[in-house]
């Protein structure tokens, strides 16, 4: 190794620049060590101690630049100097954008921008109440997507919200459309004068999508969270939202959607509805309402809710034109079934769609086993119950623990489809596909190969699987409903116009087979 010093007289650089350059030069190949420094006495001592000071460098003065390096005898000195000059001439690499600070605190965001009017919270359940409380404290409405919030916390949050004139949509709220903006899992629908309030995300999506298909637009769609109509909460959010819709000039017809609430809660809502002359469609899934005021029409399914609302909006819908074909479809499917194929196995991404399906199936098929059963004794966490019909909500906590929701990623459902198809007793595989904001980019595209495998699994037993599906969404959605349906049909899947219709078809296919 040899020490090389090149001195450039009166060539001043500040020390930081030189240190930066020296750092870069460490990467130059073939050099044992390298440094560029001004020739001050102190620096010459430093170079000396680093064994980098040659005789030329020793004579350098404070305004002279020393290029010092230690390298093998045969190194190309000019090449090294070229490398050094390259570094000297380089501009400082452009810094990161000065504004690019990652925001980690919601409170900071609230403080920085007073215009914020909604906090969308999807943090793990145990922290959700803390975050929601913060949002309320800073005067923000809350869309609380998180689940696993205790009912006590929910009651507390909603009481605070009422006090401040704010709205808490949730917890476990999936969908809302405010001022035409889809929030969470939502669909692109036409604007109009139907305002909806729903305790159910996919229930809401189903109704607005069916309305959209019937050219009926919506003004607002407000989510309340699944437990809002429980006695402990007392429909706090629904009642607030009702006030808002009653006062909203753009809303002429109001639709309320929920699973059957407690009697006391029904009474509260009915009493509130008597305050308005706006027309109201009340969809408490499967529950009969007997004392509704004149402006209120009670319906039992999401499908009925959509049809009734369209009717009230003066539309005579052709929505169920396909209904007459159901019998043909059912017959065709039945002809292919082997004798052992007896049961409907429904695998759902949408919880309320699953619930509606159970209502429809249950009308004639009897008990439907489910993880969200109509009656407690029908509870199962297994997607297959031997000798029984099953309808499973795969979006339920039990299945999504640590996994993405089947609306976001289909892989969770894929494995269950194969399991169901492999059971020789399965006659009908019933599926929903939910598209729109938040949903997978091409859910059917992911689903079709799995369905092909499922058919093979059934064929292994000499069976032919009847596959019935429903696509919840609109043609304005990015995934495009028509395109998704076409792909399903190409794969031999029967696709219906409403979810309830899919359930009716499934029901018809297996009718009388298990007796």
Partner 1 sequence: MSNNLLNQKLNVVNVGLELFSKTLIKQAVPTTHVSWRPPAGGNKEVARLLDKYEERINAANEKVIQIYNDAQPVLMGVKPAHTVLKGLTRETILHAGPPIEWEAMCGPMQGAILGAIRFEGLAENDEKAIQLIKSGAIKLSPNHHHGSVGPMTGMITYHMPVFEVKNEAFGNTAYCSINEGLGKVMRFGANDPEVLERLFWFRDSLGPAIHDAVQLCGGINLKVIMAQALAMGDEMHQRNTAASSLFARKICPLIAKLPMDHEAKAKVIKFICDNDQFFLNLAMAAAKSTTDPAKGVKDSSIVTVMCRNGTDFGVKVAATGEKWFTAPANLPEGLYFPGFGPQDANRDMGDSAILEVIGLGGVAMAASPAVVRFVGAGSQDDAVRYTKEMGVISTGKSTQFLLATMNFEGSPLGIDIRKVIENDIVPVINTGMAHRLPGIGQIGAGVVKAPYVCFEKALSAFAKTLTD
Residue 38 in contact with partner 1, rule: CB under 8 A: no
- Give me 75's structure tokens: 């190194």
DSSP designation for 383 = S
Q: List the beta bridge partners of residue 35.
A: 68
CA geometry: angle 313, 314, 318, nearest 5 deg: 105
Nearer to partner 1, 49 or 74 (CB): 49
Per DSSP, 455 falls in state H
Instruction: State the Cα–Cα distance between residues 507 and 346, nearest whole angstrom.
Output: 11
Cα(415)–Cα(436) distance, integer angstroms? 23
The CB-of-270 to partner 1 minimum distance in angstroms stands at: 22
| Intra-chain end-to-end CA distance of the chain, in Å | 95
Min dist. Cβ of residue 313 to partner 1 (A): 20
Residues 333-362 that bind partner 1 (CB under 8 A): none
Cβ proximity to partner 1, 237 vs 371, nearer residue = 237
- Assess 126 for contact with partner 1 (CB under 8 A): yes
Question: Looking only at residues 370 through 409 of this chain, which bind partner 1 when binding is defined by CB under 8 A?
Answer: 408
Nearer to partner 1 by Cβ, of 16 and 288: the residue is 16
Which of 31, 38, 135, 306 lies at the binding interface for partner 1 (CB under 8 A)? 135
The window from 95-103, 384-392, 451-459, 462-470 that contacts partner 1 (CB under 8 A) reads: 95-103
The only residue of 7, 67, 84, 167 in contact with partner 1, by rule CB under 8 A: 167
Nearest partner of 458 among 426, 484, 488, judged by Cα:
426
- Interface pattern 50-89 for partner 1 (x via CB under 8 A): xxx---------------x---------------------
Using alpha carbons, list the distances in angstroms from residue 243 to 114, 273, 276, 330. Answer: 25, 10, 9, 45
Contact call for residue 441 and partner 1 (CB under 8 A) = no
Interacting residue with partner 1 among 28, 155, 244, 270 (CB under 8 A): 244
Min dist CB 118 to partner 1, Å, is: 5
Tell me if 42 contacts partner 1 by CB under 8 A: yes
What CA–CA distance (Å, rounded) separates 478 from 384?
34
Taking the C-alpha atoms of residue 258 and residue 192, their distance in angstroms, rounded to an integer, is 22
Q: With binding defined as CB under 8 A, does residue 438 bind partner 1? A: yes
Q: Does 182 bind partner 1 (CB under 8 A)?
A: yes
Q: At what angle do helices 302-312 and 351-365 cross, to 10 degrees?
A: 100
What are 197's two structure tokens? Answer: 């309030």
Nearer to partner 1, 109 or 448 (CB): 109
- The window from 198-206, 245-253, 354-362, 469-477 that contacts partner 1 (CB under 8 A) reads 245-253
Residue 272, interface with partner 1 (CB under 8 A)?
A: no
The upper half-sphere exposure of residue 10, i.e. CA atoms within 13 Å in the direction of its Cβ, equals: 0
Shortest Å distance, C-beta 130 to partner 1: 5
* Antiparallel, parallel or unpaired: β 181-184 and 175-178: antiparallel
Look up residue 335 and give its two tokens.
Answer: 């002809």
103 scored as a contact of partner 1 (CB under 8 A): yes
Q: Does 277 bind partner 1 (CB under 8 A)?
A: no
| Contact window for partner 1 (CB under 8 A) among 139-147, 351-359, 385-393, 507-515 | 139-147
Distance CA 207, CA 498 (A): 10
Verify binding: residue 29, partner 1, rule CB under 8 A.
no
Residues 369 and 378: beta-carbon distance below 8 Å = yes
Nearer residue to partner 1 within complex by CB, 202 or 501 = 202
- Whose Cβ is closer to partner 1: residue 68's or residue 508's? 68
CB burial readout 190-228, b (16+ within 10 A) else e: bebbbbbbbbbbbbbbbbbbbbbbbebbbbbbbbbbbbb
Q: How far is the CB of 141 from partner 1 (least distance, A)?
A: 5
CB of 473 to partner 1, least distance (A): 14
Instruction: Supply the minimum distance, in Å, between the C-beta of residue 45 and partner 1.
Output: 8
User: Which residue spans within 335-420 are E strands per DSSP?
Assistant: 343-348, 368-369, 389-393
**Sign of the C-alpha dihedral, residues 488, 493, 494, 500?**
negative
Region of 13-21, 360-368, 463-471, 498-506 interacting with partner 1 (CB under 8 A): 13-21
If you count them, how many residues does the chain have?
515
- 152 pairs with which residues across the strands? none
Q: Which of 2, 9, 164, 403 binds partner 1 (CB under 8 A)?
A: 164
Task: Provide, rounded to whole angstroms, the least separation between the CB of residue 404 and partner 1.
Answer: 9
Q: H/E element holding 206?
A: helix 201-213
Shortest distance in whole angstroms from residue 11 CB to partner 1 = 18
Per rule CB under 8 A, is residue 106 in the interface with partner 1?
yes
The footprint of partner 1 on this chain (CB under 8 A) covers a number of residues equal to: 82
Query: Rounded to whole angstroms, how far apart are CA atoms 374 and 362?
Result: 9
H/E stretch holding 33 reads strand 33-38
Regarding 165 and contact with partner 1 (CB under 8 A), the answer is yes
Site for partner 1 in 183-242 (CB under 8 A): 183-184, 186, 220, 240
Name the β-bridge partners of 141.
118
One of 73, 78, 89, 98 touching partner 1 (CB under 8 A) = 98
């Amino acid at each position: 190794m040899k020490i090389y010093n090149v001195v450039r007289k009166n060539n001043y650089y500040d020390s930081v620049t030189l240190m930066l350059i020296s750092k870069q030069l460490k990467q130059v190949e073939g050099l044992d060590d390298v440094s560029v420094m001004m020739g001050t006495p102190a620096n010459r001592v430093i170079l000396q101690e680093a064994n980098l000071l040659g005789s030329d460098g020793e004579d350098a003065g404070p305004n002279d630049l020393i290029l010092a390096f230690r390298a093998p005898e045969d190194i190309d000195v000019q090449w090294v100097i070229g490398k050094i000059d390259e570094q000297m001439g380089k501009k400082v690499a452009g810094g990161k954008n000065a504004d690019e600070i990652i925001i980690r605190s919601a409170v900071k965001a609230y403080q920085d921008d007073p215009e914020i009017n909604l906090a969308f919270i999807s943090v793990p359940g145990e922290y959700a109440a803390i975050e929601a409380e913060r949002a309320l404290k800073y005067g923000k409405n809350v869309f609380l997507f998180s689940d696993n919030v205790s009912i006590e916390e929910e009651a507390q949050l909603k009481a605070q919200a009422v006090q401040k004139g704010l709205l808490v949509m949730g917890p476990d709220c999936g969908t809302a459309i405010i001022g035409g903006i889809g929030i969470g899992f939502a669909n692109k629908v036409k604007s109009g004068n139907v305002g909806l309030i729903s305790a159910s995300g996919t229930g809401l999506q189903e109704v607005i999508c069916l309305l959209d298909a019937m050219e009926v637009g919506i003004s607002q769609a407000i989510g309340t969270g699944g437990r809002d109509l429980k006695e402990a909460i007392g429909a706090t959010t629904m009642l607030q939202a009702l006030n808002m819709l009653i006062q909203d000039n753009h809303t002429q017809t109001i639709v309320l959607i929920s699973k059957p609430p407690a009697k006391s809660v029904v009474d509260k809502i009915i009493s509130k509805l008597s305050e308005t002359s706006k027309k109201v469609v009340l969809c408490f899934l499967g529950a009969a309402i007997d004392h509704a005021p004149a402006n209120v029409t009670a319906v039992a399914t999401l499908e009925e809710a959509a049809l009734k609302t369209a009717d009230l909006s003066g539309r005579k819908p052709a929505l169920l034109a396909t209904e007459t074909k159901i019998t043909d479809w059912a017959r065709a499917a039945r002809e292919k079934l082997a004798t052992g194929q007896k049961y409907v196995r429904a695998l759902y991404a949408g919880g309320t769609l699953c619930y509606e399906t159970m209502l429809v199936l249950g009308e004639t098929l009897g008990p439907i086993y489910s993880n969200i059963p109509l009656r407690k004794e029908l509870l199962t966490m297994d997607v297959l119950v031997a000798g029984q019909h099953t309808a499973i909500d795969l979006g339920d906590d039990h299945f999504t623990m640590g996994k993405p929701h089947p609306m976001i990623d289909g892989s969770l459902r894929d494995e269950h489809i194969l399991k169901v198809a492999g059971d020789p007793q399965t006659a009908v595989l019933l599926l929903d596909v939910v598209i729109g904001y938040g949903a997978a980019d091409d859910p059917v595209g992911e689903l079709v190969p799995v369905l092909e495998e499922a058919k093979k699994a059934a064929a292994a037993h000499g069976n032919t699987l009847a596959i019935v599906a429903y696509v919840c969404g609109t043609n304005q959605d990015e995934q495009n409903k028509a395109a998704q349906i076409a792909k399903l049909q190409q794969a031999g899947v029967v696709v219906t116009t409403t979810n309830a219709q899919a359930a009716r078809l499934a029901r018809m296919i297996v009718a009388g087979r298990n007796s």
